[in-house]
Amino acid sequence: MIKLVPAGTTLNNADPDADPNVIYVDTGLGKFDHHQTNQYTSASDLIFNYLRNSLLIPDKDREPLSRMIELITFVDHFQEATLENASDDIFDSCLHQLIEGIKITQSEDKNRQFELFYILLDSLFVNLKNKLIAENDIKKGFVFQSRWGKSLAIETKIENCNKVAVKMGYDLVIRRNPQRNYLKISLHPSSKMNLELIYQLLKEKRPHASWYLHSSRKLLFDGNNKNPKFAPSNLSLKQIIAIVKKI
């Protein structure tokens, strides 16, 4: 059960740490209230460290949770104001700004607010968890030079891996999902080139496959989660790399 109290207070002015069945978060100057120090921390950080030191966080969750806490502490100290182009609209779509919007749109229903907050936080955790897997998979990928620039070929089940790799500096990313046989090739959006040549060669090699070249000419697919009834090319990653390197 969650109960709200006026900022800085406790229920009936009780000692915030006296009752083990009542946990005060960021209020009352208890062990999970960061307002009693000027250190760079947050209530989330204090709780995370307590759970980690108590060995209550599974090993596989520690790194994504640690990154999540870093983000929360960053915005708790309004450090986003120090970012380049901090007033750009893109930052208003970030989780902490969405929470501010929910407080307004759901102002009459506190339970609904918390329900939506949990969904957002769970989603952020999953995204960070998958990003970590993608980063580790990228380290195992095959890096080579192509006419499109610094290129990466990788096998991974993480759908967002292409975007992670492009943001890391790769110009061309070839990703094959070994479980579902999906193929996705991405070109950096700032590139002045396109994937038309690759598309034509792959289409000639496997005309039966469900090749789809995006209208931007910077994305090429053979199957994805939006099209489960696709015809796979069955080309191996090595075969695709060979085709790309010949162009």
- Residues 46, 61: one domain? yes
Domain that holds residue 232: 142-246
- Residues 161, 68: one domain? no
- Residue-wise pLDDT for 124-154, tens only, equals 999 999 999 999 999 999 999 999 999 999 9
C-alpha distance from residue 175 to each of 146, 187, 209 (Å) = 15, 12, 16
- Residues 163, 83: one domain? no
Report if residue 178 sits inside a domain: yes
Asked if residues 178 and 155 have their Cβ atoms less than 8 Å apart, the reply is yes
Domain boundary among 83, 106, 135: 135
Asked if residues 34 and 61 have their Cβ atoms less than 8 Å apart, the reply is no
Asked if residues 195 and 222 have their Cβ atoms less than 8 Å apart, the reply is no
- Residues 203, 123: one domain? no
What pLDDT does residue 52 have?
Answer: 97
- Residues 112, 161: one domain? no
Report if residue 149 sits inside a domain: yes
- Residues 88, 153: one domain? no
- Residues 146, 224: one domain? yes
Domain at 156, CATH number: 3.10.310
**Comparing 72-81, 223-232, 238-247, which segment has the lowest mean pLDDT?**
223-232
Domain boundary among 135, 150, 178: 135
Report if residue 14 sits inside a domain: no
- Residues 181, 131: one domain? no
Token reading at 100: 């501010």
- Residues 163, 128: one domain? no
Query: Side-chain half-sphere of 67: how many Cα atoms within 13 Å?
Result: 13
Q: Record the pTM.
A: 0.90
Asked if residues 151 and 186 have their Cβ atoms less than 8 Å apart, the reply is no
- Residue-wise pLDDT for 164-212, tens only, equals 999 999 999 999 999 888 999 999 999 999 999 999 999 999 999 999 9
Report if residue 12 sits inside a domain: no
- Residues 111, 173: one domain? no
150: left (phi over 0), alpha (psi -120 to 50) or beta: beta
- Residues 93, 168: one domain? no
Report if residue 86 sits inside a domain: yes
Report if residue 164 sits inside a domain: yes
- Residues 82, 169: one domain? no
Report if residue 46 sits inside a domain: yes
C-alpha distance from residue 128 to each of 5, 80, 121, 159 (Å) = 32, 19, 11, 13
Domain boundary among 114, 135, 156: 135
Report if residue 18 sits inside a domain: no
Question: Per the structure, how many domains does the chain have?
Answer: 2
pLDDT for 87 beyond 90: yes
